[in-house]
Amino acid sequence: MEKAVDIQLMVQETPNPNALKFVVNTPVKNGGNYTYKNARECDYNPLARAVFEVGPHVKEVYFFDNYITVTQDGQAAWDELEKEIKRVILEKIKDHDPNFSIPQPQEEVRWSAKEAPELAQINVILDQTVRPYLQMDGGDIQLVDYTNNVLRVFYQGACGSCPSGTFGTLKAIENILRDQFNPNIVVELTDFF
């Protein structure tokens, strides 16, 4: 007989004033991460759908490891929204499957180190320098493509609509990659969807 886990939930602020990170003591996504942009995408994830149903101000729900980052449109006060999101997570987490199916993969870059050695090398650099900090802040970065010294990236979670992500963090990533990979690289942000 399995022992029931006492679910603990902690809310953390992120650098993005429109995003909060809801951390639980159980996995919400095993292997990888996933960003939902609307409730219509949540057929295979009732917990994500329930978070969107909290209200019209919820604009993005991001699942990674043991946390869910919720981004709002900036039009709602966090006090009531946070309270309702916490209630929904605590109510639905016991039935949540962290191995939830994703019916159609998001427009993921599908490349191997053999096919795109530059992207693989860039990924290693980002894994060592940038990703841990973005993940700590409730987000991540995904590589889209690299052509003619231009790297296109997509921010996930709290990073997606963060004012500092658009300017400061993007420039810092570009500087790191210029130093460790290619002095002529340009990093551009893309709306992945």
Per-residue tokens: 138: 């409730």
- List residues bridging with 36 in a β-sheet: 61
Ranges assigned E (strand) in 18-75: 19-24, 29-36, 58-65, 67-72
Is there a shared CATH topology between the 9-95 domain and the 117-189 domain?
Answer: no
Q: How far is CA 108 from CA 16, 36, 142, 193, in A?
A: 24, 14, 8, 10
Per-residue pLDDT in tens (0 to 9) along the chain, 193 residues: 444 568 999 999 998 899 999 999 999 999 888 889 899 999 889 999 999 999 999 999 999 999 999 999 999 999 999 999 999 999 999 999 999 987 654 444 444 455 578 988 998 999 898 888 888 888 888 888 899 999 999 888 777 777 665 677 888 899 999 999 999 999 998 875 4
Q: How far apart are CA 68 and CA 71, in angstroms?
A: 10
Per-residue model confidence as pLDDT tens digits over 48-76: 999 999 999 999 999 999 999 999 999 99
Q: How far apart are CA 150 and CA 184, in angstroms?
A: 9
Q: Would you state the pLDDT for residue 4?
A: 57
Q: How far apart are CA 14 and CA 161, in angstroms?
A: 11
CATH of domain 9-95: 3.30.1370.70
What residues contact residue 25 under an 8 Å CB cut-off, 6+ apart?
Answer: 5, 7, 8, 66
Q: Which residue has the tokens 């570009």?
A: 174
Structural domain boundaries of the chain? 9-95, 117-189
Per-residue model confidence as pLDDT tens digits over 76-90: 999 999 999 999 999
Q: Would you state the pLDDT for residue 115?
A: 57
Q: Would you state the pLDDT for residue 165?
A: 58
Q: Would you state the pLDDT for residue 109?
A: 46
Q: Would you state the pLDDT for residue 106?
A: 47
Would you call 139 helix, strand, or coil by DSSP? strand
Q: Would you state the pLDDT for residue 103?
A: 61
pTM of the model: 0.78
Domain 117-189 class in CATH: alpha beta
